[in-house]
């Protein structure tokens, strides 16, 4: 039976080992999305999908508390501050909120509070409810009533100093109003953009040929991070205050009174904030705000409830990243149905094939949607999505709309299951799926236009061909203008200059000297060590270390090329040989084989090889008595682990194989050696004990 994929197992059914793997995966995944969201303001998944990841992470951690990782996302809010601004350490961390997704989630929230405080049944938990503004939070520090510093949340501990930018946000007072001003106070709240300003901004951007923003939140986030405050000002950002950080005098009493105080200071406080006496009241407020949502001048994505007794805040404290005294009851993602006209395939810069739903345009979540992601091949099969289907599209105040399912009753008679292409739509190369990977990838790395620029950048980079004067920018320009489309083109550039395209010196920013410098730099790299060449090819998973190992093992380019072509046959000796190299497992071997299985790549490689001189790599340590010998370890060793033994043998130039053949020079047999020992005896291969082996290699 194949191993179950932890990602697909319900939390309650996970074994401990699966939970551990799943927590590792979620930590990585959530960090990636945090970075995209907080540092690049370019999220790739919907809020709902992101929340689902976090919720799953927390649920697993609750079930297996001892598996909680050091780098668990629940210890962290957001992502580390991006560069460009000075860092600010928040004197009190800026926290996030736990989410509820239905009425029961809200009831559970109140239940937890009651239990935690040990409240009697009849004691009420007063709440304040207010819209959850879809913007980004900021902290404003006032000393002697004067704004001295403004910062973004960053990772909750350290944010960015964006004081100058916050000063041009209209609703941010430069000085607090009123008489009883504390010595210092930090006021926190949400920076946002109104729908009207967002639309005007996008119209203007489009008129200037700039890409429009996807939503007001991204526009606000980008606006606050402008290096020039004049540009921030143009975004007409706004601010609602709703929390505090460090204060010289304790904040006491009721949250509703704190909001009044903020207003007296001169802040805007959301006018829809209301007290709720019990859970029914809170639910009624949720429904009212939800009904009003579309008519509000700004985007909101839920209702935040906070315990209306600040003394209880202290007692309730925090769990992980969120206070126990507050919760965000999120709105459900908006859905609509529409017809799926076609499924197209996009090829990413790394060759991943992503299916995209081409839809009959439909209005959902405040925007018109005509395309939605279908994620990957399995997702289409799992949801059985077919061209012609009526599908349910979802968008949750977010970026990429999703197809959540199919309205089966409306399926046209002849709709066929979708056959995922096995060839790359961009270049026609084979598209393959690796074990354990969701994405199918184009293997035409060297020739695929979707990947070409990325590959060429890698090819010329420092650790690869290291061509001075051919950095990312130039590669991009040369690629776009058709001067360099594949690696071989780099080495024919000089010959083609002024013949197949106008002389480089006629290009902007170029002169005789810079052109001749470039050609000198290229010529200098015509001679390249085998390992650099292997690394430069950009075969998936083949980093510098693997490239070096391959180069050492095969020594010469032609030998390597031939062996890799032969290794395409499963079970072939060449394949076994490849897999026997330490650190090269079957997945890596498969990636190399896939590369060589694609004729386009071999063509491109051969064209390149014609133009360059590949330097042989001599196997190391030829003086060692085991250099060049093939050895096989079997049984359990006493003095070292198998991995260590293997690494040491390889460092001395031996080749460590996993099975015994006529070519084996030595079999090193530890205790309880089994069939390999029998085989060795049968074939007449020398058998050494561990001690004999050590004597041989230790001078």
User: 170: closest CA among 229, 87, 227?
Assistant: 229
Contact status, residue 589 vs residue 579, Cβ threshold 8 Å: yes
Stretch of 127-135, 468-476, 576-584, 655-663 contacting ligand IVH, by CB under 6 A: 127-135
Q: Count of CB atoms within 10 A of residue 104's CB? A: 10
Of residues 310 through 369, those in contact with ligand IVH by CB under 6 A are: 323, 326, 328
In the complex, minimum distance from the CB of residue 243 to ligand IVH, in angstroms, rounded to a whole number: 5
Residues 597-656 that bind ligand IVH (CB under 6 A): none
- With CB under 6 A as the contact rule, the residue among 22, 61, 130, 160 that binds ligand IVH is 130
Q: Is 190 in the site for ligand IVH (CB under 6 A)?
A: yes
Q: Which long-range contacts does 5-8 make (Cβ < 8 Å, 24+ apart)?
A: 5/436
Q: Tell me, residue by residue from 287 to 306, as one string, x for binding to ligand IVH by CB under 6 A and - for no binding.
A: -----------------x--
- 130: closest CA among 48, 240, 216? 240
* Binding window for ligand IVH (CB under 6 A); candidates: 12-20, 52-60, 130-138, 465-473: 130-138
Interface region with ligand IVH, contact rule CB under 6 A, candidates 35-43, 125-133, 505-513, 576-584: 125-133
Residue 296, class by beta-carbon neighbours within 10 Å (0-12 exposed, 13-18 middle, 19+ buried)?
middle
Among 525, 416, 405, 390, smallest CA distance to 461 is for 525
**Residues 235, 170: Cα–Cα separation, whole Å:** 10
Q: Which is nearer to ligand IVH, 258 or 595 (CB)?
A: 258
Q: Is 96 in the site for ligand IVH (CB under 6 A)?
A: yes
- Among candidate residues 132, 306, 330, 655, the one labeled active-site is 132
Q: How far is the CB of 317 from ligand IVH (least distance, A)?
A: 11
Backbone φ and ψ of 459, nearest 5° = -60, -40
Q: By the 8 A CB rule, do 80 and 154 touch? A: yes
Among 56, 76, 132, 225, binds ligand IVH (CB under 6 A): 132
User: Which residues contact residue 376 at a Cβ distance below 8 angstroms, ignoring those fewer than 6 apart?
Assistant: 354, 355, 438, 439, 440
Q: 223-240: string of b/e by CB count within 10 Å (b at 16+)? A: bbbbeebeebbebbbbbb
User: Residue with the closest Cβ to ligand IVH?
Assistant: 137
Report the C-alpha gap between 404 and 381 in whole angstroms: 13
In angstroms, the Cα distances linking 260 to 47, 171, 266 are: 31, 16, 10
**Of these, 97, 237, 310, 617, which contacts ligand IVH (CB under 6 A)?**
97
For ligand IVH, the closer of residues 97 and 668 by Cβ is 97
243 touching ligand IVH, by CB under 6 A = yes
**In this complex, which beta carbon is closest to ligand IVH, that of residue 131 or of residue 635?**
131
- Give min distance, CB of 485 to ligand IVH, in A: 46
Out of 14, 27, 133, 241, the only residue in the binding site for ligand IVH (CB under 6 A) is: 133
Total number of residues that touch ligand IVH (CB under 6 A)? 14
Specify whether 132 is catalytic. Answer: yes
Within 475-494, the residues that bind ligand IVH by CB under 6 A are none
| Smallest distance, ligand IVH to C-beta of residue 82, A | 17
Of 527-556, which residues contact ligand IVH (CB under 6 A)?
none
C-alpha pair distances (Å), 576 with each of 550, 596, 645, 648: 14, 16, 20, 21
- Residue 532 and residue 458 in contact, taking contact as beta carbons nearer than 8 Å: no
Give the catalytic positions in this structure: 132
Binding site for ligand IVH (CB under 6 A): 95-97, 130, 132-133, 137, 190, 242-243, 304, 323, 326, 328
């Amino acid at each position: 039976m194949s191993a179950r994929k932890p990602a697909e197992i319900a939390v309650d059914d996970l074994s401990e080992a699966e939970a551990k793997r799943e927590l590792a995966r979620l930590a990585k995944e959530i960090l990636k999305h945090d970075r995209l969201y907080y540092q690049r303001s370019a999220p790739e998944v919907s809020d709902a999908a992101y929340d689902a990841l976090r919720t799953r992470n927390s649920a697993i951690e609750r079930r297996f508390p001892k598996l909680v990782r050091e780098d668990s996302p629940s210890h962290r809010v957001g992502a580390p501050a991006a560069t460009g601004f000075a860092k600010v350490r928040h004197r009190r961390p800026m926290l996030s909120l736990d989410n509820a997704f239905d009425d029961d989630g809200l009831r559970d929230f109140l239940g937890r509070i009651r239990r935690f405080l040990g409240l009697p049944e009849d004691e009420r938990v007063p709440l304040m409810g207010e819209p959850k503004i879809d913007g980004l939070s900021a902290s404003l520090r006032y000393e002697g009533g004067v704004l001295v510093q403004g910062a973004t949340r960053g990772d909750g501990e350290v944010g960015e100093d964006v004081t100058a930018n916050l000063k041009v946000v209209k609703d941010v007072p430069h000085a607090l109003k009123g008489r009883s001003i504390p010595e210092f106070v930090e006021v926190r709240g949400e920076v946002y953009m109104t729908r009207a300003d967002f639309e005007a901004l996008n119209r203007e951007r489009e008129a200037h040929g700039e890409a429009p923003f996807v939503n007001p939140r991204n526009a606000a986030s980008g606006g606050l991070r402008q290096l020039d405050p004049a540009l921030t000002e143009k975004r007409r950002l706004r601010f609602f205050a709703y929390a505090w950080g460090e204060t010289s005098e304790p904040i006491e009493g009721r949250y509703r009174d704190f909001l009044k105080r903020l207003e007296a200071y001169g802040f805007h406080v959301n006018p829809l904030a209301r007290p709720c006496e019990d859970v029914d009241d809170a639910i009624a407020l949720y429904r009212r705000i939800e009904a009003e949502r579309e008519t509000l001048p700004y985007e909101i994505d839920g209702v935040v409830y906070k315990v209306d007794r600040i003394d209880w805040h202290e007692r309730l404290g925090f769990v992980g990243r969120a206070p126990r005294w507050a919760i965000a009851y999120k709105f459900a993602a908006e859905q609509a149905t529409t017809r799926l006209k076609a499924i197209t395939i996009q090829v990413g810069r790394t060759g991943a094939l992503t299916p995209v739903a081409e839809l009959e345009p439909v209005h959902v979540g405040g925007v018109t949607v005509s395309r939605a992601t279908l994620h990957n091949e399995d997702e289409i099969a799992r949801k059985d999505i077919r061209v012609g289907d009526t599908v349910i599209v979802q968008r949750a105040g977010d970026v990429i709309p999703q197809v959540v399912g199919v309205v089966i009753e409306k399926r046209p008679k002849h709709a066929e299951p979708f056959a995922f292409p096995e060839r790359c739509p961009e270049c026609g190369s084979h598209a393959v799926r690796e074990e354990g990977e969701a994405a199918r990838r184009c293997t035409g790395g060297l020739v695929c236009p979707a990947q070409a620029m990325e590959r060429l950048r890698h090819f010329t980079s420092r650790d690869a061909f290291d061509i001075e004067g051919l950095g990312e920018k130039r590669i991009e320009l040369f690629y776009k203008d058709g001067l360099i489309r594949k690696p071989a083109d780099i080495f024919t550039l000089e010959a083609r200059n002024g013949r197949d395209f106008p002389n480089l010196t006629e290009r902007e920013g170029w002169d005789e000297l810079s052109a001749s410098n470039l050609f000198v730099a290229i010529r200098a790299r015509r001679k390249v060590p085998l390992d650099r060449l292997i690394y430069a090819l950009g075969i998936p998973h083949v980093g510098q270390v693997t490239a070096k190992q391959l180069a050492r093992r095969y020594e010469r380019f032609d030998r390597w090329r031939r062996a890799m072509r032969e290794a395409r046959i499963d079970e072939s000796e060449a394949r076994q040989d490849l897999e026997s190299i330490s650190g090269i497992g079957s997945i890596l071997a498969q990636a190399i084989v896939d590369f060589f299985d694609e004729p386009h790549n071999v063509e491109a490689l051969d064209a390149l090889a014609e133009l360059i001189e590949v330097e042989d790599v001599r196997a190391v340590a030829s003086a060692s008595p085991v250099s060049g010998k093939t050895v096989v370890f079997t049984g359990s060793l006493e003095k070292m682990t198998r991995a260590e033994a293997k690494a040491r043998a390889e460092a001395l130039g031996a080749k460590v194989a996993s099975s015994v053949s006529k070519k084996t020079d030595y079999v090193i047999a530890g205790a309880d050696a089994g069939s390999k020992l029998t085989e060795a005896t049968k074939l007449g291969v020398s058998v050494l004990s561990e001690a004999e082996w050590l004597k041989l290699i230790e001078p």
